[in-house]
Structures are given as structure tokens and as C-alpha cells.
Chain A
Amino acid sequence: MGELLNLIEFALRGLMVGAVYALMAMGLSLIFGVMRVVNVAHGEFLMLGGYVSFFTWSYTQLNPIASLLIAMPVLFFFGVAIQRLFIERVVGRPELSSLMLCFGLSIILVQGAQVLFTPDPRGFTWLLYPVRLLGWNFPMYMLMIFATSMVIAFALFLFLKATRWGKAIRAVSQNYEVAQACGIDARKVRMLSFGCGAALAGAAGAFVPVQFSLSPGVGHEFILKSFAVVVVGGLGSLSGAFLAGLLLGMVESLITFYFSSHLAQLTFYATIIVVLLLRPGGLFGTTET
């Protein structure tokens, strides 16, 4: 009975950590789905969102959830600018071009952050007290982050389902030529998608100073995990990325508790290989790529 309770507790805890992975991976998946661009600089968008949240807290004491009102728009417009100035120029070219471009951007953003913000790790404490839920103790900040992530994910699905621009994004993602033939401005859709993707990374990043530790290189850890989440969820599938984020968060937490953190990290990345070999479309996507 005790073992079962442990299992449930750590599954729930992993679910909460996984919510941040899910937000990050949904942004990555959205960008890939619409543009076929593997944005390796996505982790740096998360890092920038983290600094917006950190400085907002430092100067105004605004909590990380409220700071989303700043972090998400800032990252949205930053993403739009990056897309317009750089990414748009390599859309439709061989995938290596966009990959190298994003890689270069990633290095510039990390180095720029080192100069601007220094390599010092940063963070702050917010709602760091245990709350009793279903018989277990959970940190209050974790519950709040989980709830907020769910709201953001739900809002994104609603946006894609119910709005004109959301439908345009889905159309371009499903069939670029047909969408254009129907009069959809694909260029604007790409800008919007990249901006939304960056804003999602920014939202995930806003929680980093509270949940983890913020430094210019923090995006590196998250981008690798996000790739695993996206592959497991199915390339370009938003709902897949969402579910896979939660699932891998749970798996990571359980393996760390029962076995070791080394095995947990290994599982994360081994999953990429296994899924690509056995089910290339991802666990929650189609079997075809």
C-alpha cells in the first residue's frame, strides 16, 4: 500500500514538472508544424522569459503568474522580429539552413545573456510552502505553476480551434499549398506561429527562477528534453506534445525516485531513439511522418 502511495505521489509530482516541459514543447511543435523549422534556439526563448520574470519580480515584486502578462507579449514580439528578420529567409530551403541559423541564434542569445545578465545563477522564492492535497504534501508554487500551465495550454487549443487566425495556423500546418490557394497569408501565419511558439517558451521560462535556477545556459537542459517530448508526442502535434510533456515528466520523476537520476535522464533521451525507430509519428501522432 505504501509503495502504491509513493507511486501515485511521484506520478502527480512528475505531472507538475511535466507541465513546464509541455508548454515548452508545444511552442517547439507549433513552429515545426507550420514552418518545418527545428528551432534549436527555443531554449533561449525560455531563458529570456526567465529573465523577464526575474527582473519583473526584482523591480516590482510581481509574481511569476502576473509576470506572464509581460513575459509572453515580450517574447511574442521578440519571436516575430526574429522570424521576420532571419527565419523567414530560410523557409523552404534545405532543413540544414534553418538548423544552422537557429544554432547560430542560440549561441548569440546565450553569449548576449552572459554579457547582459552575467553568468550568475538567479532565482527567487515564491509560495514555497507545502500544501496538503489528496493526502500528500506539494509545494504551493508547483500547484500554481501546474494550474497556470493548464490554463495556457487550454487557451492555446481554444485559440487554434475557435479563432480565424488559429484556423489559419492549422490549415498552413496541415497543407501549405491548399491553405495558400484558399487565400491564407502564409507569411503572416508563419510570423504569428513563431511569435506564439516563442511566447509559450517565455511562459515556461517565467517559472524557471522559481522552480529551477536561471542562468544564460539554462535553455540547453530544456531544449534537449523538449526534443524528446516533441518526438514522443509526434512531430508537429500540439496535443501530442502536451500529453508527452506530462507523461515524460511523470516517467522522469518515478525513475529518479525508484532507480536513479542517471537512468531517468537516459530514459528521456533513449525514448527519442525508440520512438523514432518503432513509431516514427510519435505515440500520440500518426504512424506516418
Chain B
Amino acid sequence: MLNARIAGIRKLLTSSSVVAAGFVLLTSLAAFGQEPIKIGISMSVTGRFERPAGYLFEGHKLWEKHVNQRGGIQGRPVKLVFYDDKSDPAEAIKLTRRLATVDRVDFLFSPYGSELTAAVASVIEELGVPAIASIVATVGPWQGKNAKWMTQFSSTAPLYLMGSVDLAIERAEAKNIAILYEDTPFPVGVADGLRARAKERGLKILMDEKYDKALTDWSPLVSKARSLGAEFLAGGGYYPAAVGIARAAAGIGYRLKLLALVVGAADPKFVKDLGLLAEGVAGSDIWLPSVKTRGFVVEGATIANEDFVRSYREEFKRDPEYWSAAGYGAGQLLARAINESLKRARKADRNLIRDFLFSYLGETIYGDYGVVKLGQADAGMQVRKQHFVIQWQKGKKEVVWPRELASAEPWIGWPK
């Protein structure tokens, strides 16, 4: 009797083990053979954006490889589906439609840059596919648009020099500022940020003047700032303005507590062209290989910025640029959103993922992420991604602000 019962239990255990083993095997096989999550990109493989878009795409591809090497997101692999938009907005619109309707991708990364993203923004809203705009500095696709499907991953113009105001107040002890900027959309946006932060921090604005983009001699404006007694001069436009303003200031012997300029001051050419005069000039950078950031890869696995840089160099035999980091970081954000959805609903649900993208506050190797919440006029617009204040010191670009990410102490006083 007892023997018969033991035999019965044995039989039960054996068959249970077989069932369990079979279940595990089937689950694994199912996971291994699961339909990949498809992410579509209209990518500028050729045309005028070929260079930056190339870096961006390499960032996306490295992210795809890392996720799949680690077994996918909750077991599901990711697959990039892309076409060449030839850097043409009309082509980007056509391809975005094709990706959503013919290839039936689950999600989208926006094309490279403000121009192409602005072109496809309304199409993405119409198609209702969650999308991440990896590299867009303008706020046009979000400001007042009440966007529901696309969020901005990169930083916006007003954030570019905001940190320099904090630096000027807290470290340079500047009491006032002269804002001088080119009258085109991006520099106007930068000046908006400077003005807002200066008012918020109680920095007296002595001069707030825009200049014509055809201006070739900045000395009258720089002299005006000097005659008003400005201690902190900030603003600029593109490369020629950064060089022109620095030269004009040095040419009249203008001594400042801090000089902060976009976007040319961050260009390695700036120090080559200006030599010693570039020393101490502050600028703005959005990502650097040296910053200590970390981000999600798959459940239980993260990657540090330095490891991303190393992997990138191994994979593509060249140094990553900030476009590459944006491509990888946008992937990390999407992976996290998909992961949450798979955990909650056991599927990559578009609505859940969209809600996550519009509400998540966190970090990727590219830096902080956080957008205006869904339902608001500027929904989807980036508000957390801070720029680093960089400064040329002994021919090297050092991060000097924010404090916690600084690679060197800021130099106060310019010229050196």
C-alpha cells in the first residue's frame, strides 16, 4: 500500500518535472523566437545631413546590438527598420508614412535635426505612433502644439547657456549681464533662456540687444556693453559671431568676469583660430565622453557613459560625437518604456509606452530626460536636459558647470 503511494508520488513528481521542464523550454523557445519589436527611422544616409546623421544612426545601431546581446527587452529582440531620406523633408514624410503603414513598425525615432523632424511631426501625430525626437534643438514641433505621440529627447535652445548664469553669479560673483545675440531663431531662443534665468536669479540685465545676421563688426556692440559696465557678456550666434565677439572684446581691451558664447565657443576650431584668446571663454556642450552618466539597457543591466564610449570606439573605429550619444540614449529611453509596458501588460502597448515617454523623469548616458506632461500646450517638449558649461583651459575643453559633473574648477576673468 505504502509502496504503491510512494510510486504514485514518484510518478506525479516525474510527470510534474517533465511538464515544468517542457514549460520552461517552450517559454524560452517562445522568447527566443518572439517577434522582434520594430523601430522605424527615416535616416539621412546621404545628403547634407549625412555626417551628423551617420553618427546618430551608429548610436541607434550600437543600442540595438547591446539590447539583443543581452537577450532583448523582457526576452523580445529589437530591430531597426530604416530608409534613406536623402536629407530631404518631403522624402522623410513619405518614408515615415511607409514605415508606419507598410512596414508596420511599433515605434519611431525621428529623422535627424530640426528641419526634418518639424516636417514629420504632424504625420507622426496623425499616425499615432510613439516616437522619440533624438536630435532637435528647436521647440517648434511642441510649443503650443499639444503633441500626443512624439517627445523631445535632446535639449532646447533656451537651456544652452542657462548654466552660465548660475556660474557667473555663484563663482564669478557677477552683478550684471549684457546679452548680445543674433536675430535668428536659435540664438533668440538661447537669449530667452539667459534672460529668464538672469531675472530668476536677480542678475541685472544692462544690455539686451539682438544684431543683424549680416553684421561683420561686433566692436560697436561690445563697446556699448563695456561702456555700460557689464561684467558678464553672454549670447552670440554661430561660429563667426563667437570669434568676432571675442576678437572685438579683446581688441578694445575689455576685461570681463565671464564671457559665455554659443555655439562656436564649443567648437574645437575656436581654440585653433583664437589661440590664447580662447582661454577662459565659456560655451555650452550637450554631451561629452567624460561625463559620468549611466542608463538602462535591459532589466537588471545598465551601461555607464565611459563604457558606451569604449564600445562605440570598438564597434565603429572612431570617437563618438554627441549625435552618437543621442542615438544611443534615445534607444535607452525607448527600451525602458517598452520594458515597463511588457512588465505591466505583457505586451508593447503603444498607449502605455506613450504615457511613459511623456511622464518619465530619469537619466540615460546622454544626460537627464523629462518633458512637459501630456495634455499641456507644450506637451513633449524637453525641460530637463541640461547643458554643461564648458570652458577652454590650457587648450582643453573642461566641464566647469554644473558642479557635480565638473572636470575642472572654472577660471574667472577673461581674457587670461
Contact = CB atoms under 8 A, between A and B. Distances in A.
Interface of A: 6, 9-10, 13, 17, 120-125, 128-130, 137-139, 141-142, 211-213, 215, 221, 224, 252-254, 256-257, 260-262, 264-265
Given A253-B220, A256-B220, A262-B212, A125 B273 contact: yes
B253 interface: yes
Interface stretch (B31-39, B186-194, B237-245, B313-321): B237-245
A17 B216 CA distance: 9
Nearest to A262: B212
Interface in B161-211: 183, 209-211
B345 interface: no
Given A10-B220, A256-B220, A137 B253 contact: yes
A139 B220 contact: no
Interface of A is mostly: helix
Given A121-B269, A256-B221, A264 B253 contact: no
A126 to B, nearest CB: 10
Interface string B253-266: 10000000000100
Chain B interface mostly: helix
Closest 6 CB pairs of A and B: A139-B251, A213-B240, A130-B253, A257-B220, A256-B220, A261-B211
Given A125-B273, A125-B275, A128-B277, A262 B250 contact: no
Contacts of B220: 10, 13, 253-254, 256-257, 261
A121 B240 contact: yes
Contacts of B102: none
A213 B215 contact: no
B416 to A, nearest CB: 13
A221 B239 contact: no
Given A125-B274, A262-B183, A265-B215, 14 more contacts: A125-B275, A128-B247, A129-B251, A129-B253, A139-B251, A211-B216, A213-B243, A215-B240, A253-B217, A256-B215, A256-B220, A261-B211, A261-B221, A264-B212
Given A121-B243, A125-B274, A213-B243, A139 B250 contact: yes
Interface centre among A6, A121, A253 (most CB of B within 10 A): A121
The contact size tier of chain B is 20 to 34
A212 B244 contact: yes
Nearest to A220: B214
A262 B210 CA distance: 8
A261 B252 contact: no
Most buried by B among A13, A17, A128, A129: A128
A137 B227 CA distance: 13
B214 A265 contact: yes
B309 to A, nearest CB: 25
A157 B252 CA distance: 33
Contact of A6 (B227, B252, B253, B277): B227
A137 B251 CA distance: 8
Contact of A141 (B211, B214, B239, B251): B251
Nearest to B250: A128
Interface string B76-104: 00000000000000000000000000000
B250 A129 contact: yes
Given A124-B273, A125-B277, A138 B223 contact: no
Contacts of A265: 212, 214-215
B74 interface: no
B347 interface: no
A128 B251 contact: yes
Given A121-B240, A125-B273, A130 B252 contact: yes
14 contacts: A13-B220, A17-B217, A120-B269, A121-B264, A125-B247, A125-B277, A137-B253, A142-B251, A213-B239, A213-B240, A213-B244, A215-B240, A260-B211, A264-B212
Contacts of B396: none
Contacts of B239: 121, 213
B219 interface: yes
A128 B215 CA distance: 20
Interface in B222-237: 223-224, 227
Pick from B220, B227, B252 the residue with the most CB of A within 10 Å. Answer: B220
A128 B274 CA distance: 10
Nearest to B247: A128
A37 B211 CA distance: 34
Given A256-B221, A257-B220, A130 B212 contact: no
A103 to B, nearest CB: 20
A77 B214 CA distance: 30
A13 B273 contact: no
Contacts of A137: 251-253
Interface in B359-381: none
Which of B221, B244, B247 is packed against the most chain A CB atoms within 10 Å?
Answer: B247
A224 B250 CA distance: 28
